[in-house]
Chains A and B, each alone.
Chain A
Amino acid sequence: MTALWPFDASIESLWLALYLASFALHAVFVSYVAAGTGYTLIAALRGAPDPIAERTRDWLPFMLGAGITAGVGPLLFIQLLYQRRFYTGNLLLGPRWGAVVPALILGFYALYLAKASSRWRRFALGVGLACFAFVAWSWTEIHLVMMDDAAWRAMYGAGTRMYLSLDVVPRLAIWLGAMLALYAMVAAWSAASGERRRLAVLALVGLVASAATAAIQAGTRGALDPAHGWTYVLMLAAAAATVGWAWILRRPDGPGLALATGATTAALLAGAVVREAPRLAMIERGRASASESGGLVVFFVTLAVGVAAITWVIRTVRGAAAT
């Protein structure tokens, strides 16, 4: 039974849904970090006062912590969905892939340094941005390695730790554009009217860059994968987000931000499904040890308790934040 492609009544479908949801959440945080670090670096290089950059710099370490924590979810579920492929990709890229961990540690401390020291700010933000760019590139790379099992033997035999495919570039470019839009979406909620206009420009640049790269890629391939209609949902949501951001340019305090946020979130979720579509046939089904495992009820009860606890924390500190 297929209720809403690619979801059905199988356990793999539940893993997929949780994978996509946690991946989307992770993407929001890491987009804020990657694009926000870039924005604050440019602001620091310009030297002019910039309230958006100041607020972003203040939030960056927390956002990175939240991004890494949220990233554990997709990291868990990807091991259920594509276990052999993910492990093989890890092993083929080897220590080069493992370098994402020290890169993140270095980037983390760089963000703290940028927050604490105006003297070292530019240097620290530059280091942070380089670290996050490396991590983004590495994830893009492993995504493609996982799918290219025909290349595994040769790659291993040659001892190659890099997957030098041209596909990495447009994929990364689409993500970088989306990251700008996601960063703008989060940052705009705490921004003043004039600041929102600047963020709207940033988001529009990101959306146009993503869309143009995707269009060029589809044109080069000569085909557009509709992904059972999800691609059209993505296009529609991206168009609505564009309208929302354009509306903010004209009326920063109007309903444009709500529209842009809703549409960008919808585009993110639809984009996650579209991104997944080419490898859905690779999902490793039928591992009895995984599909018959217990503990599902405990997880969902804990999820409810955890969401309630986090909501309580946010409500508790909201008053303090206002002061």
Chain B
Amino acid sequence: MSPIDSTIPYYPVNDFGPLMKGLVIGGVGILHVFLAQFAIGGGMLLWYFERRAQRGDRDARTFVDGYFKVLVLISFVVGALTGVAMWFTTIQVGARTIGLMIDEFHWLWATEWIWFAVEIVAGYAFYRYGPRLADRARLRLLALYAVASWLSLFWINGILSWQLTPGDWLEGGGIWAGFFNASFWPSLVFRTAVATTLAALAGCILINTMDLPRERRAALLRRAARFAAPIAVMPVLALWFLAVLPEDSRSWLLGGSMPMTMFVGVAAGASFLIGAYVVVGLIVQRLYINGATATLLLGLAFGATAAGEFVREGARKPYTVRGVLYSTSIRPTEVAALRAGGATANDPYPLKATYPSEQLTRGAKVERALCDACHTMRGANALVELTRTWTDDQLRLNLAKLQRTKGFMPPFAGNAEDVEALVQLLRWEHRERAAGFAPTSAPEHLAQIARWLDEAGTGPAGATR
């Protein structure tokens, strides 16, 4: 049978060495989100400064033309291409997830593409011809750029937030129920506030490079700082976002999972520091912000963005699309069949490495099919380290009742032989792949594992919504 013909899609799995796949997509994703949001806020900031320029503020015009060059050189190049990279990376990490998203939302994704194209054309037109255009045309072009870039965010935001809170879409509510889901509006307002803040901080850096007397730079800085003011409402937006999250996801963010809670703390702490400086220092006390401080704040904003994206990704566990697709790229409805037939019975792809026994080979295939999306064997989030101190029976129990062991893990999508093969593989790895390794499995172990699998059931630990 060709790999193309299987009922459940099986894709070749790539190994990124010590990097877990989440780190790979996280690295690309955070950079892309940061640059894209900078471009969106940049459009609004430039329109505002252009309006000021046309009311007699000559420095504002100089700022607009200088800022736009930076926007084009950074955002139009690295920002646009990391967007393409996001698709390629998502395919590497979760081909079935991106396939499902494309299937469900392709017309809206194509709509987002149209706005992105308008943004790019308006942006390049302004970059190239802006200095030669009449005031009215300049302002309109910048308005078109700002609106198109924000609409690009609008459309992509609905697709991304659907992954976390698909809501009534799960009950057949249709595409709009999925698009305007519970986290759509808080997420959209939150990202818009982040976008204006990033643009303002980047603007402050650029203003400090302008060859102007200090007082004229200070005047521009005060204007730019206003665009960072929305960060003051971040706590309210964050609470709104938390309120619409599914209960289990919220509980992990609020102490149920310490790494997640710490990332929430990093995002909140960094945002608070930026907000306090902007509101108290720049807006109320009208302090002068130099390039170094603005760069530091932008660095903090990058940290907050990174932590926020980690939280958003992590809150979806054990799903990549809540209620529809587990992080293992297996649908909840497919688990029962895989319990009966085995996790890798239809996997057409061979292993790249060789193993000393058939059981260890099977274990390696099970690890690739069910664990590899979020774990490595010995690198980041290493299975060997997570399970090193577990006894053999503990290994069997915890894997068989995986969704009960940790609520953010999916149910084990294989049979008793698969669990035992994975247990033996981990024992072998714990013993540094010893040459004389002897498996300890026995028929009574398989019977016990089968009972545990039945007790755990095939559903997730938490609610599907």
The reply to whether A309 and B107 form a contact with Cβ atoms under 8 Å apart is no
Cβ–Cβ contact A310 & B117, under 8 A: yes
| CB of B75, distance to nearest CB on chain A (Å) | 11
Distance in Å: Cβ of B273 to nearest Cβ of chain A = 32
Answer whether residue A272 sits at the interface, using C-beta atoms and an 8 A cutoff. no
A123 contacts chain B at the CB level, 8 A cutoff: no
A298 touches B85 (CB 8 A): no
Residues of A within 8 A of B14 (CB): 91, 94-95
Which residues of the other chain, B, contact A317 by a CB distance below 8 angstroms? 125, 128-129, 133
In the bound complex, do residue A153 and residue B102 qualify as a contact, i.e. CB atoms below 8 Å apart? no
A66 sits at the interface (CB 8 A): yes
Q: Does B181 contact A (CB under 8 A)?
A: no
Contact B81 A76 (CB under 8 A): no
Residue B310 at the A interface, CB < 8 A?
A: no
Q: Are B12 and A73 touching (Cβ within 8 A)?
A: no
Instruction: Name the contact of B104 in the complex, choosing from A293, A299, A303 (C-beta under 8 A).
Output: A293
Cβ of A72 < 8 Å from any Cβ of B? yes
Contact-residue size bin, chain B (C-beta under 8 Å from the other chain): 35 or more
Interface residues of A in 1-38 (CB under 8 A from B): 15, 18
Find out whether the CB atom of B108 lies under 8 angstroms from the CB atom of A150. Answer: no
Residues 1-48 (chain B) with a chain A CB within 8 angstroms: 2-4, 9, 11-14
* Residues of A close to B76: CB separation below 8 A: 65
B-facing residues in A71-94 (Cβ within 8 Å): 71-73, 75-77, 79-80, 83-85, 87-88, 90-92, 94
Q: A62-B128, A321-B129 are in contact. Are A101 and B88 (CB under 8 A)?
A: yes
| One of A103-111, A184-192, A258-266 contacting the partner | A103-111
CB contact between A104 and one of B13, B81, B113, B348 (< 8 Å): that residue: B81
Alpha-carbon separation in the docked complex, A297 to B76 (Å): 29
Chain A residues with Cβ below 8 Å from B132 are: 320, 323
Inter-chain contacts of A83 with B (CB < 8 A): 99, 102-103
**Interface of chain B residues 101 through 145 with chain A (CB within 8 A):** 102-111, 113-118, 120-122, 124-125, 128-129, 132-133, 137, 140-141, 144
B141–A316 CB distance below 8 A: yes
B345 within 8 A of A: no
Nearest CB in chain B to that of A62: its residue: B124
B114 near A302: Cβ-Cβ < 8 Å: yes
The reply to whether A105 and B81 contact each other, CB–CB distance below 8 Å, is yes
B115 touches A316 (CB 8 A): no
| Contact digits for B86-107, partner A, Cβ 8 Å, 1 yes 0 no | 0111011001001110111111
Q: Give 1 or 0 for each of A281-323: 1 = CB within 8 Å of chain B CB.
A: 0000001011001111011001101100110111011001101
Closest chain-A Cβ to B4's Cβ sits at a distance in Å of 5
With contacts A87-B11, A157-B349, A294-B107 taken as known, whether A72 is within 8 angstroms of B84 at the C-beta atoms is yes
* B140: chain A residues within 8 A (beta carbon): 316
Q: Which residues of B contact A76 (CB under 8 A)?
A: 102, 106, 109-110, 113
Contact between chains at B3 and A152 (CB < 8 Å) = yes
Enumerate B246-274 residues with CB–CB distance to A below 8 Å: none
Bound complex: CA A87 to CA B174 (Å): 26
Contact A293 B103, CB 8 Å, known A72-B116, A75-B84, A112-B73: yes
Give me 30 A-to-B residue pairs in the complex whose CB atoms sit less than 8 angstroms apart, sorted by A's number. A65-B124, A66-B124, A75-B84, A76-B110, A88-B3, A91-B12, A91-B14, A91-B91, A91-B92, A98-B89, A104-B84, A108-B77, A149-B3, A152-B3, A153-B3, A153-B349, A153-B350, A156-B12, A156-B349, A159-B352, A289-B100, A290-B104, A294-B174, A303-B114, A309-B118, A313-B122, A314-B121, A316-B125, A320-B132, A320-B133
Per CB-CB distance, the 8 closest pairs between chain A and chain B, nearest first, are: A295-B107, A294-B175, A290-B103, A306-B114, A87-B95, A320-B132, A320-B129, A157-B350
Supply 18 further A-B pairs (C-beta < 8 A) apart from A289-B104, A295-B107: A62-B128, A72-B113, A75-B84, A79-B106, A87-B98, A88-B4, A88-B11, A108-B81, A112-B73, A156-B350, A157-B352, A289-B100, A299-B107, A302-B114, A313-B141, A314-B125, A316-B137, A320-B137
Binding site for B on A (CB under 8 A): 15, 18, 62, 65-66, 68-73, 75-77, 79-80, 83-85, 87-88, 90-92, 94-95, 97-98, 100-101, 104-105, 108-109, 112, 149-150, 152-153, 156-157, 159, 287, 289-290, 293-296, 298-299, 302-303, 305-306, 309-310, 312-314, 316-317, 320-321, 323
